[in-house]
Amino acid sequence: MTRLACAVAVAAATLGCSGHDAASPFLLSDGGAPSVDASAERAVGDAAEDAGPEASGGAPCLDDAQCDDGVACTLDACDAAVARCRNVPDHAACANARFCDGEERCVPGLGCRPGVPVACTDGDTCTVDACDEATHGCTHLPRDADGDGDPDAHCAGGHDCDDLDPTASSLHAEICGNGRDDDCDAAIDETPCSPPAHDGCGDPLVISGSGSYVMSTAGARLDGSASCVSSTAQARDVVASIVVAGVEAVDVDVVAEFGAGRVTLAVLDACADPSSERACDASQPGPAGTNVARVRARSLSPGTHTLRVLTEGAGNVTLRVAYEAPSAPPTNETCGTAAPLVPGTAVDAEIVDAARDLATACSASTGELVWSFDLAAVADVRVYATSTDGVGWPSVSLRDAGCALASDEIACGVDAAVELFARALPAGRYAVSVAATAPTHVELLVVTSPPTVAAADESCAGAPALAPGVETPVALSTHTDDVNLACLTGAVDAAYALDLAEPSDVLLVERIASGDQGAVELSLPACRGPVDRLVCGAGGLSPVRASRRGVPAGAYRVVVESSRGNDATLTAWVRPAEVPALVAFADGCADALAIGPSGGLYQGDTGRALADWPGACDVGGGAPLGAPDQMLSLVLDHTARVLFDMSGSSYVTLLELRLGDTCPGTPVAGACSLGFGEGASFLDRVLAPGTYWVQIDGYAGRSGAWSLDVRVVDP
């Protein structure tokens, strides 16, 4: 640390080499170690090299063995003439043989550092600029955003009138009757024009085998119908022929993906006869952000059948078609027809054309299939389910012997990979039902193990005490879903007791694993459901937070949840209830409002303010100075951990921390937080002594009433 401080001192000429100056404006990480951004690192290296060998080494020595600086890329030796170490950077030791990422450098005291990437920007918005590793040069290709081979018409040599739509181009033919300029000649539906492809029974797309097919509904009319779609006000359709060759029947599985709206698939024996419909499915949101529909036409006889594709909106529909051996629909549709399931043995579940029969607390778009298994003795049970084709997410329910009713459900979950856990189930029969968010194939596995004893934090009844201000690790992998406060369905949970001796402002912070969904709630001690819940916060962005101000003195429970059963941490920040301070002005540096040394509650409204400074994390566009903003200040005379929470604000906020003796200071790296999506703006930083400026701003020009909770605590 001392070597790094000295190197920074060489670069900035502001510190002595005796160590870290108490007034130095370093931003500290949560662990308390100073973090230095890339520009500071480069300044360190430049300063050390410019100062010569004495600055990059220089320790007294008698032999080479005394000069090892612990940095692999320096050449270390003892200069016998002056009895001093020489630690000379060897940049070649850092080279990675890649051209485009720049020349790597060896920085004394730090080691190898990335180079500056090769800049290929030519300043011309009509070219797409890139570094070419093969030629060690730059490429400047004509701008063609939609990839249709026709450059943008706004650029020299280009003729594409809509470079965001690959179906519009000077290389395309005009389509009749679709109300758009397909061939980019500034005329709409002019003659000659071509009818939309496959827009009717007389011009089907021929599908004769497994593969991927693309159909466009641009310009198409609505010529037919499908039993599983109720509204056709904005629908249009195209037609394909499914050809079954040979003499054997086949199953044909079709998955449709459409990005512009809902999509529906219907398979018919005769194109013009709706009564000949064999299978139908209306779309559901797919994991990739598109709409997905899926049909499995079972035992299609040799000959020609019809696939009708209906969309709400115009665009390309991608069809994935698989010809497979003929099969009968699954028979395990209900609790009474449940298929046997052997613990430890995986089964494949085809959730494509199942009917919906069972009540569950977990959401699903499809019907479900049911399996059953027996326990000969008390056991812990885990249920695993994963989609094998990625079309939809499994929705899984573990149920007792009653099976059919909502009250028979022991646990449920919806995820890309579901894991349910039930502790110490008595001997007897149990059922597992599997549905999905979209038709999909699922691998299902039940595993049993000897019964375990619940931890103390398993339920609200025996909840251990939660120490305010202390980050508490929560091991959720061995927990079950015991508490139902209707904040996050199907998640495993843990409960802790929180006693308040006086009216308090409570901020709950849960840190979750990447890819997980978490929830944190404050409840009355009985945890009887939403009636006892005081506040909840849920989402997939860590940290998950919940804030409640002016909570009366008394006993409470804090419940923390994870949809995947991942370990988490929980912190309850508690302080005596405060009356919010109204920030009436603070529209600039001259009247910036000072935050108290221990923090506080602040409320204001940027709707009456001017836009003075841009936000470093504002990527939403708008005016050069961003949205209207207000400014607060915080002076720290000692290292402290500071939390900034904007829960309760009425708009998409932007919170930025700046540092400097004079307003507005310089933005602190990584200390800008947007408040859209699942939570309000939030920063949790360990800060060194100094003067900080707190910029209350908005995303993409937004403004409105805001709330800020500031807590200054020991690091």
260 in a domain, yes or no?
yes
In this prediction, what percent of the chain has a pLDDT beyond 90? 64
Which residues, 6+ apart, have CB-to-CB distance to 572 below 8 Å? 466, 468, 469, 496, 498, 506, 507, 508, 509, 558
Final residue before a domain boundary, out of 400, 417, 449: 449
Band of pLDDT at residue 182, cut at 50, 70 and 90 = confident
Q: Find tokens 């008394």 and name the residue.
A: 554
671 in a domain, yes or no?
yes
151 in a domain, yes or no?
no
Q: 155-159, 305-309, 533-537, 688-692: which has the minimum mean pLDDT?
A: 155-159
Are 444 and 384 a contacting pair, CB within 8 Å?
A: yes
374 in a domain, yes or no?
yes
Q: Looking at the structure, do residues 641 and 605 belong to the same domain, yes or no?
A: yes
540 in a domain, yes or no?
yes
Band of pLDDT at residue 9, cut at 50, 70 and 90 = very low
For the record, the structure tokens of 264 come out as: 């529906």
β-sheet with 291-300: strand ranges across: 211-216, 316-324, 250-258, 291-300, 284-285
pLDDT of 590-615, one tens digit each? 999 999 999 999 999 999 899 999 99
Show the domain range for 651. Answer: 581-713
Name the average pLDDT for the chain: 87
Mean pLDDT across 515-543: 94
Q: Cα separation of 684 and 699, whole Å? A: 20
Mean pLDDT across 202-214: 95
Q: Looking at the structure, do residues 487 and 379 belong to the same domain, yes or no?
A: no
Count Cβ atoms within 10 A of the Cβ of residue 635 and give its class: 0-12 exposed, 13-18 middle, 19 or more buried.
exposed
pLDDT of 559-577, one tens digit each? 999 999 999 999 999 999 9
Question: Which residues pair with residue 253 across a beta bridge?
Answer: 296, 322
pLDDT of residue 697: 95
Q: Looking at the structure, do residues 544 and 653 belong to the same domain, yes or no?
A: no
Highest average pLDDT, of 2-16, 30-44, 143-157, comes from: 143-157
pLDDT of residue 8: 33
pLDDT of residue 157: 85
Beta pairing class for 369-375 and 339-340:
parallel
**Run of H or E including 150:** none
Count Cβ atoms within 10 A of the Cβ of residue 93 and give its class: 0-12 exposed, 13-18 middle, 19 or more buried.
middle
Band of pLDDT at residue 312, cut at 50, 70 and 90 = confident
421 in a domain, yes or no?
yes
pLDDT of residue 41: 43
Q: Phi and psi for 12 in degrees, rounded to 5?
A: -100, -15
pLDDT of residue 231: 65
Q: Looking at the structure, do residues 588 and 652 belong to the same domain, yes or no?
A: yes
pLDDT of 613-667, one tens digit each? 999 888 766 678 889 999 999 999 999 999 999 999 999 999 999 999 999 999 9
Return the higher-pLDDT residue of 402 and 13: 402
SS3 of residue 376 by DSSP = coil
Count Cβ atoms within 10 A of the Cβ of residue 576 and give its class: 0-12 exposed, 13-18 middle, 19 or more buried.
exposed
Q: Cα separation of 382 and 432, whole Å? A: 11
CATH assignment at residue 587: 2.60.120.1050
Res. 120: pLDDT tops 50: yes
Q: Looking at the structure, do residues 602 and 702 belong to the same domain, yes or no?
A: yes
SS3 of residue 637 by DSSP = coil
189 in a domain, yes or no?
no
pLDDT of residue 53: 40
**Number of domains observed in the structure of the chain:** 5
pLDDT of residue 29: 33
Final residue before a domain boundary, out of 555, 576, 597: 576
108 in a domain, yes or no?
yes
Which residues, 6+ apart, have CB-to-CB distance to 715 below 8 Å? 28, 32, 639, 640, 641, 686
Res. 17: pLDDT tops 50: no
Res. 238: pLDDT tops 50: yes
User: Which amino acid, residue 432?
Assistant: V
pLDDT of residue 42: 44
Q: Looking at the structure, do residues 436 and 479 belong to the same domain, yes or no?
A: no
In this prediction, what percent of the chain has a pLDDT beyond 70? 90
Q: Cα separation of 436 and 414, whole Å? A: 8
pLDDT of residue 619: 75
Q: Looking at the structure, do residues 643 and 674 belong to the same domain, yes or no?
A: yes
pLDDT of residue 19: 32
Highest average pLDDT, of 99-113, 442-456, 615-629, comes from: 442-456
Mean pLDDT across 701-705: 93
pLDDT of 375-428, one tens digit each? 999 999 999 999 999 999 999 999 999 999 999 999 999 998 999 999 999 999
Return the higher-pLDDT residue of 159 and 6: 159
Mean pLDDT across 491-497: 96
pLDDT of residue 506: 97
Res. 43: pLDDT tops 50: no
Final residue before a domain boundary, out of 73, 98, 113: 113
Are 383 and 371 a contacting pair, CB within 8 Å?
A: no
Q: 22-36, 321-335, 394-408, 656-670: which has the minimum mean pLDDT?
A: 22-36
CATH assignment at residue 320: 2.60.120
